[in-house]
Amino acid sequence: MQETGYVVGVDIGGSNLRLALAGMDGKVLAKWAVSTEGIRDPQVVVRLIEEGVDDLLQQNHLSRSLLLAIAAGAPGVTNVDEGIVIATSYLMGWRDVPLRALLEARLGVPAAVENDVNTAAIAESRIGAGQGIRDFIFIAVGTGIGAGIVLNGRLFHGMGWSAGEIGYMLVPGTSVSPVEKGEPGALESVIGGEGIKAQWQSLWSQERTPLRRDLVATQIFDHALQGDPLAQAVLHKSAQTLAYAIYNLAVVLNCSLVVLGGSVGMHPAFCDATREILIQRDKRVQPKLVRSTLGPDAQVNGAIQLALDAAASRVLST
Amino acid sequence: MQETGYVVGVDIGGSNLRLALAGMDGKVLAKWAVSTEGIRDPQVVVRLIEEGVDDLLQQNHLSRSLLLAIAAGAPGVTNVDEGIVIATSYLMGWRDVPLRALLEARLGVPAAVENDVNTAAIAESRIGAGQGIRDFIFIAVGTGIGAGIVLNGRLFHGMGWSAGEIGYMLVPGTSVSPVEKGEPGALESVIGGEGIKAQWQSLWSQERTPLRRDLVATQIFDHALQGDPLAQAVLHKSAQTLAYAIYNLAVVLNCSLVVLGGSVGMHPAFCDATREILIQRDKRVQPKLVRSTLGPDAQVNGAIQLALDAAASRVLST
């Protein structure tokens, strides 16, 4: 491995594109972000990534030749071996985008791609709450909900690259209606960010709470902490539902650690209430539940880790 | 590996001890069985196993020196690395039984031990319905319910050797009461053999069906096929509940195949009804559901496979 060199980690989100430049020790030196609102064309995204890379290098007075690799987390099902983003619901629906080849062609360095929740799980595994843990599950609760499953120290991807789609899990209290294409899954409908908002709105009336009807999940949880009974009911139902899902994962995979991340999952009240319910449920099955130590930086840090791996192999795959 | 030699596979069940003698091609040459009713002492079980081994060898005019290895599936949580049966609910509750060492000491050949559902999963993977499938799940529905999870072609055991304990899974329609030690899990309470009987008994009345109140699960399913509406209601509820559990496994592990075994799971009506519900549930998530091709011989055949592995390594672990 070259002694001097740099890598870039990319988090391609539904609303933002975030980049971070790091040295070969994985430490973030600088960050860059731009909106992806209204963008669909992968070529445009790759051009924006190049802009960001150049900007990050220039800010740090580094020449392009010092960039050794890049990796990107994408918000959808991703074939890591082929470097293809198979499908996303964000970015207006990518289908079979050869993102690794596009990045390598534009930047001239080895690239890697991965699903964004998996990218976050890698970061938690290597530098976050999952360090040294052989088997653990990272759960991201944001607008949607998904899991990155680390087994025997490696990401488990499944036959069709979509292991960990726990947003579709059925637990007591979720709908059992058949799922139509493009619809959110049963679990996500209750405890994804939108699901929690919907719970609030279905319970809300002016007589029952002085709070506004248009609160988002984290605001509802804030108000639950401050004592609003209706917000507490939503928090309790959400925590109960999440606890059932985590319990199911723990009995199936017998893993001892679950790391909770994502903008909604990071809320301390959500994690604490879920943990309480898990403790009461089954003395034999007690997965440790902790919040992500990397928070919103998990994805981009995981991408940096993958870029370091790609730099170590240093072979263009195209 | 020696060219001539034999191995024995053992299935230690709650009510029967079953042995099979096989050549190095894994083909079963002879079988032997004895009741384990009322037996608790592992030393007694090991002595019975020795009796069975000697009987099988004598029947086939083989000397004891031709026995190259033995492996046993045990009905409980088993530490495969250490060769220890950590806990069983059958056999009146084994705790930390060093079964591998006991077998090796008594028989003088390399031994291996494994959980019995995992043993069946190995058999399905190597010579049954899961041949050539990288990731699949074997589900045994008998008195209880458990799963053997094969990922990347190998059994996945989990941090505490108890991955696949799906009898505890929570799905819509199962109880959410906290689980007390020794109690059956939520899913098992509904669709384990005893759970299905309990469903029948709770619905049963002389006015509603001409059938007896004390039917067992497979008899109830037989009567469902013959048109009894109450039996059909139990079959439908059981199939729906199993379908939810399989769907959850499929979204978490993204596996394409589920193999159904065990005395209740092997009933064609149960498998067919479950498959129908899965097909309707979610077009994107369609695990193939098939019945075990090995049936009640899965466990002992899996033990033979493990004994062949042990013979290949040919090192006494004690």
Give yes or no for a contact between A84 and A98, defined as CB atoms under 8 angstroms apart: yes
Among A134, A168, A282, beta carbon nearest to B179: A282
Helices B217-225, B268-281: inter-axial angle, 10-degree rounding:
70
Q: Tokens 């975030």 belong to which residue? A: A18
Find, in chain B, the residue whose alpha carbon is nearest to that of A170.
B171
Q: In B, residues 236-275, which contact A (CB 8 Å cutoff)?
A: 244, 247-249, 251-256
Q: Do B172 and A173 touch (CB under 8 A)?
A: yes
Q: Which residue has the higher pLDDT, B317 or A232?
A: A232
B172 plus B227 within the same structural domain: yes
Among A248, A254, A282, beta carbon nearest to B163: A254
B151 plus B279 within the same structural domain: yes
A112 plus A140 within the same structural domain: no
- Residue A179 forms contact with B (CB below 8 Å): yes
With cut-offs at 50, 70 and 90, classify the pLDDT of residue B318. very low
Q: What's the CA gap between B73 and B11, in Å, rounded? A: 5
CB contacts, 8 Å: B160 with chain A: 254, 256
Q: How many residues does chain B have?
A: 318
- Report the domain count for chain B: 2
Tell me the pLDDT tens digit for each residue of B259-313: 999 999 999 999 999 999 999 999 999 999 999 999 999 999 999 999 999 999 8
CA–centroid distance for B253 within its chain:
20
- Residue B165 forms contact with A (CB below 8 Å): yes
Mean pLDDT of B119-128: 97
Secondary-structure percent of chain B, ordered helix, strand, coil, rounded to 5: 40, 25, 35
The pLDDT value given to residue A15:
86
Per the domain annotation, does A318 fall within a domain?
no
Q: How many residues does chain A have?
A: 318
The pLDDT value given to residue B313:
85
A177 plus A277 within the same structural domain: yes
A80 plus A134 within the same structural domain: no
Give yes or no for a contact between B71 and B112, defined as CB atoms under 8 angstroms apart: yes
B139 plus B285 within the same structural domain: yes
- Residue A153 forms contact with B (CB below 8 Å): no
Per the domain annotation, does B218 fall within a domain?
yes
Q: What's the CA gap between B79 and B83, in Å, rounded? A: 6
| Cβ count near B58 (within 10 Å) | 11
A101 plus A163 within the same structural domain: no
Among A159, A161, A179, beta carbon nearest to B282: A179
Chain B contact probe: residue of A117, A170, A189 with most B CBs at under 10 A: A170
Task: Give one DSSP letter per residue of B51-118, joined into a string.
Answer: HHHHHHHHHTT--GGGEEEEEEEESEEEETTTTEEEEESSTTT-EEE-HHHHHHHHH-S-EEEEEHHH
Q: Do A160 and B252 touch (CB under 8 A)?
A: no
With cut-offs at 50, 70 and 90, classify the pLDDT of residue B315. low
Per the domain annotation, does B127 fall within a domain?
no
- pLDDT over threshold 60, residue B197: yes
B150 plus B267 within the same structural domain: yes
The pLDDT value given to residue B317:
57
Decide the pairing of beta strands A145-151 and A76-79: unpaired
Tell me the pLDDT tens digit for each residue of B58-87: 999 999 999 999 999 999 999 999 999 999
What is chain B's alpha carbon radius of gyration, rounded to the nearest angstrom? 20
The pLDDT value given to residue B13:
87
Q: Measured between CA atoms, how close is B12 to chain A, in angstroms?
A: 23
CB contacts, 8 Å: B244 with chain A: 170, 176
Each residue's pLDDT expressed in tens, for chain A with a length of 318 residues: 445 899 999 999 888 999 999 999 999 999 999 998 888 899 999 999 999 999 999 999 999 999 999 999 999 999 999 999 999 887 778 999 999 999 999 999 999 999 999 999 999 999 999 999 999 999 999 989 999 999 999 999 999 999 999 999 999 999 999 988 878 999 999 999 999 999 999 999 999 999 999 999 999 999 999 999 999 999 999 999 999 999 999 999 999 999 999 999 999 999 999 999 999 999 999 999 999 999 999 999 999 999 999 999 876 654
A197 plus A307 within the same structural domain: no
Q: Measured between CA atoms, how close is A9 to chain B, in angstroms?
A: 27
B286 plus B305 within the same structural domain: no
A168 plus A190 within the same structural domain: yes
Q: Measured between CA atoms, how close is B230 to chain A, in angstroms?
A: 23
The pLDDT value given to residue B3:
58
Percent of chain B topping pLDDT 90:
90
The pLDDT value given to residue A180:
86
A59 plus A144 within the same structural domain: no
Residue-range definition of the domain harbouring residue A286: 129-293
- pLDDT over threshold 50, residue B1: no
